[in-house]
Amino acid sequence: MHSRLRCYGMAVVVSAMSAVCRRCSACSGCLYQASLVLDQLPDGPEAQRGRQHIALVTEALLNSPDWSGQGDAPPAVTASTRGVVRVEVTADQRAYLLTLPAKVAGPVEVLMQRGWFKFAKQELLAGRSPGGKGWKKVLCECMLAGASREDFEARLKAELKLADNSARTQASLAISIFRAGGLLSNRVQKLIVIRD
């Protein structure tokens, strides 16, 4: 750890877009401290957004192939005018996306760019639902309950008012997206999060 950090060791300022953070050997400690603080907050939309942001920044700072610790690598994170933060998809991830069906690859790429899969896994393993609304919310709640695919389809029909065929199609697509993102196991009948 540096004895003279420019940020004075304040974890709230850790950023993948900061050259100081990119070259600082203490950034992993800042990320860890920030995640500890966010885990202690009452669960709500603000805390959830904070945890998702820290998961995205962690992905960008620690897992970027361009990160050399020198601070001169281009930022792996971009932000839009609407405040949506995204991480660049790596070459390996791009090659993986090419192996997926187009209907699955598109949503998987968007969720990868937002760092959502890593965030979702952390939230699900902590017993919290990361899905905000729609099919993601229903599927995450089913995963937390260890429900079956049939239970998921029934909840899609009841909560989203989908017809039988629409619920079946949406369930297949949703499960494929979560499996492609590394959240769901292919081996068991229950909808449970992969722990590794």
Q: Which tens digits make up the pLDDT trace of 106-149?
A: 999 999 988 889 889 989 998 999 988 899 999 999 999 999 99
Q: Which amino acid is at 105?
A: A
Q: Give the separation between CA 196 and CA 193, rounded to whole angstroms.
A: 9
**Distances 177 to 1, 28, 107, 163 between C-alpha atoms, Å:** 39, 29, 7, 21
Q: What is the pLDDT of residue 135?
A: 95
Of residues 96 and 75, more confidence is placed in 96
* 18: nearest Cα among 26, 160, 119, 100: 26
pTM score above 0.85 = no
Tokens of 97: 């996306």
Closest CA to 184 of 150, 169, 175: 175
Q: 15-33, pLDDT tens digit by residue?
A: 777 777 777 777 778 888 8
- Range among 4-8, 47-51, 81-85, 147-151 with highest mean pLDDT value: 147-151
The distance of Cα 42 from the centroid of its chain, to the nearest Å, equals 20
Q: Mean pLDDT over residues 53-74, rounded? A: 62
Q: Decide if 1 contacts 61 (C-beta within 8 A).
A: no
Residue 30 identity: C
- Return the DSSP state at 190: B
Could you tell me if 87 and 26 are in contact, meaning their C-beta atoms sit under 8 angstroms apart?
Answer: no
Q: What value does the mean pLDDT take over residues 63-83?
A: 54
Where is 87: in which H helix or E strand? strand 85-87
Tell me how far apart the alpha carbons of residues 135 and 119 are, in angstroms, rounded to a whole number: 17
DSSP secondary structure letter of residue 12: G
